[in-house]
């Protein structure tokens, strides 16, 4: 009796294990020979380039043409950005994509579902503070339906420090000195080990541009990186400011060479004081002898002389 019960129990266990193995094999076969693994971005950081930091695995024997799609979701706003790469080759084996070889994914088409993310990424190259889920899907291009070959997702929390606070020159002021001193306040306590640095950028404002538009579109008039203090005097060696021209300036803050914040964009007008020639003393020409005598008597100590 006990032996019969043991046999039935053993058979049930064996059948259960076989069922699990069959289910696992079926799942693996459904996934196919492809896999992908997203790399976690640095803490408190998420850039568009981070969407394509990925390891791709092709366990087949042939090279396939593929492309990737990425969806970025923010905790309270839902989908905020979607992005799609161009078609590229995925040979057998492992293929690692990083910033150094990401050009093979270009052109990349990006859609901003929420417009403020476009503005934030253009200004700072960073997603603003928040909780994000990044999902990337690998798809084949051979089939009309572009079936999904592999997929991975990561969660990333971004906590950006506030940008530096500009102090002088004040916004919309007139600068008279050819070598003004630019000063700002750090967004947080500065480290003593030099891990906190700043970049000062100045651009010329053209025609009716706003300061923000000029900073975004124009070439740098002057830019200094790796500034370890919160002030910088415009150097003699830099291209001189032009009288009557408007200039925009901003400061970027970095921690361990990672951008953590940007200040507002302020503007100033360079207008040195006009250089006037000193007035020359008037020359009095005296021709009358009587007038000369009168002047001599007025200068004498004795009024009778």
Let me know: does 80 contact 113? Beta carbons within 8 Å: yes
What are the residues whose beta carbons fall under 8 Å from the beta carbon of 26, sequence distance 6 or more?
none
The Cα diameter of the chain in Å comes to 160
Model-wide pTM > 0.75 = no
Mark residue 115 as left, alpha or beta (left: phi above 0; alpha: psi -120 to 50; beta: remaining).
alpha
- What are the angstrom distances between the C-alpha of 51 and each of 155, 178, 213, 257? 12, 45, 27, 20
Q: Is 31 helix (H, G, I), strand (E, B) or coil?
A: helix
Look at domain 165-270 and name its CATH class. Answer: mainly beta
Q: Do domains 31-158 and 165-270 have the same CATH topology?
A: yes
Domain ranges in the chain are 31-158, 165-270
Compute the distance between CA of residue 80 and CA of residue 111 in angstroms, rounded to an integer: 9
pLDDT of residue 177: 95
Peptide bond just before 280 cis, omega within 30 deg: no
- Burial of residue 115 (number of CB atoms within 10 Å: 0-12, 13-18, 19+): exposed
pLDDT of residue 130: 84
pLDDT of residue 232: 97
Look at domain 31-158 and name its CATH class. Answer: mainly beta
Pull the structure tokens for residue 275.
Answer: 């250089």
Compute the distance between CA of residue 79 and CA of residue 268 in angstroms, rounded to an integer: 39
Compute the distance between CA of residue 121 and CA of residue 112 in angstroms, rounded to an integer: 10
Pull the structure tokens for residue 277.
Answer: 């020639």
Strands (DSSP E) found in the chain: 34-38, 54-58, 64-74, 78-84, 88-90, 93-97, 109-112, 130-140, 148-158, 165-168, 173-175, 181-185, 196-205, 220-227, 231-233, 246-255, 258-262, 266-270
Let me know: does 101 contact 21? Beta carbons within 8 Å: no
CB atoms within 10 A of CB 251: 27
Which phi and psi angles does 37 have, rounded to 5°?
-140, 115
- Burial of residue 274 (number of CB atoms within 10 Å: 0-12, 13-18, 19+): exposed
pLDDT of residue 260: 77
| Mean pLDDT by groups of 10 residues along the chain of 305 residues | 48 46 36 87 89 95 94 92 95 92 93 88 80 95 76 90 89 96 84 79 95 95 96 96 97 80 94 68 56 58 52
């Amino acid at each position: 009796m006990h032996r019969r019960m043991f046999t039935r129990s053993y058979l049930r266990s064996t059948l259960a294990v076989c069922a699990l193995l069959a289910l696992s094999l079926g799942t693996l076969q459904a996934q196919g020979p492809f896999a992908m693994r997203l790399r976690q971005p640095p803490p408190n950081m998420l850039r568009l380039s981070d969407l394509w930091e990925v390891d791709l695995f092709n366990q087949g024997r042939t090279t396939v043409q593929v492309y990737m799609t990425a969806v970025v979701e923010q905790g309270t706003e839902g989908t905020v950005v979607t992005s799609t790469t161009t078609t590229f080759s995925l040979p057998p084996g492992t293929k690692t994509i990083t910033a150094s070889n990401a050009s093979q994914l270009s052109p990349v088409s990006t859609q901003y579902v929420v417009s403020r993310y476009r503005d934030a990424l253009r200004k700072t190259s960073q997603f603003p503070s928040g909780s994000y889920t990044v999902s990337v899907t690998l798809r084949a291009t051979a089939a009309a339906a572009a079936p999904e070959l592999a997929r991975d997702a990561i969660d990333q929390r971004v906590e950006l420090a506030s940008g530096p606070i500009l102090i002088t020159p004040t916004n919309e002021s007139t600068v008279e000195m050819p070598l003004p001193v630019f000063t700002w306040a750090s967004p947080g306590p500065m480290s003593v080990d030099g891990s906190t640095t700043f970049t000062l950028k100045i651009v010329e404002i053209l025609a009716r541009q706003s300061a923000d538009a000029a900073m975004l579109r124009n070439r740098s008039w002057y830019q200094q990186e790796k500034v370890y203090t919160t002030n910088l005097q415009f150097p003699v060696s830099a291209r001189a400011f032009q009288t009557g021209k408007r200039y925009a300036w901003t400061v970027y803050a970095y921690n361990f060479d990672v951008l953590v914040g940007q200040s507002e964009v302020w503007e100033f007008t360079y207008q040195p004081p006009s250089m006037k020639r000193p007035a020359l003393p008037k020359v009095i020409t005296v021709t009358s002898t009587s007038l000369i005598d009168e002047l001599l008597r007025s200068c004498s100590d004795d009024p009778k002389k």
